[in-house]
Amino acid sequence: MKNLKERLGAGQTLLGCFLNLGSSLTAEMVGKAGFDFVVIDIEHGSGTEANILHQLQALEHTAAAAVIRVESHERQRAHRVLDLGAHGIMFPRVNSAAEARACVAALRYPPLGVRGVASMNRACEFGVSFRRYVEASKDVLLGVLQIETAEALDNVEEIAAVDGADVLFIGPLDLSMSLGILGEFDHPRFQAALERTAAAAARHGKATGVLMPKPDDFARYHGLGFRFLACGSDGAMVNNAARTLAQNLIQQRRQRTGAS
């Protein structure tokens, strides 16, 4: 199993990309591009749980580990995609230590958690490696908890202290909206939120992550101690490339024919 948790524990900086189209083809393209991880998004993405299997299969022969962003910390949302072979779960809008503990419990088998136990699934090779998978899962499966509200910031120290809260991940749009500064990522309050989250994570031996608005932001976030860095999505890349190509051709047509 691709072990992001081990790599973060060794101090590595990991780079990722979101997948929001529900497409196994774009998943494979992104996986082969060289990213360390992808986030298959079923909170805001157009795909559903039904699309996850094919995306995981497409990513299998790439170096990218698969983290699934689920809709909530309910255990059913987590264990369904874990059984399919996810390497970690991203939980949105975690506002308290109690919610953080619920997220971690959904990742872990009893007695450490509440994950349902089944052996005939893809994650454990349909029973072949069941016991080995169960024993290794606590040390391998990555728990990514999103800090997206002012309430989460107030409780970030307690959230970071939860065992299994491996990555505190800033959701920049949600957090900036909660702070009343939507999209103002250079605002002092947003900067303070970044620093506060990174400091709390560091005190408890956890990693900090963020969805960077643009790749040029890498130095800024890395300098703050962020080591789980995502940028872009398959949907954004297709959209941007299509618009750039179309505008290029439209401009050339206008220059030669005068037509808009």
SS (H, E, C) the chain: CCCHHHHHHCCCCEEEEEECCCCHHHHHHHHHCCCCEEEEECCCCCCCHHHHHHHHHHHCCCCCEEEEECCCCCHHHHHHHHHHCCCEEEECCCCCHHHHHHHHHHHCCCCCCCCCCCCCCHHHHHHCCHHHHHHHHHHHCEEEEEECCHHHHHCHHHHHCCCCCCEEEECHHHHHHHCCCCCCCCCHHHHHHHHHHHHHHHHCCCEEEEEECCHHHHHHHHHCCCCEEEEEEHHHHHHHHHHHHHHHHHHHHHHHHCCC
CB atoms within 10 A of CB 39: 25
Q: Are 7 and 229 in contact (CB under 8 A)?
A: no
Query: What phi, psi does 210 have (nearest 5°)?
Result: -160, 150
Distances in Å between the Cα of 72 and the Cα atoms of 139, 165, 234 are 22, 15, 23
Give the active site residue among 44, 54, 61, 204: 44
Cis bond before residue 172 (omega within 30° of 0): no
| Residue 204 designated active-site | no
Residues annotated as catalytic (active site), given as ranges: 44
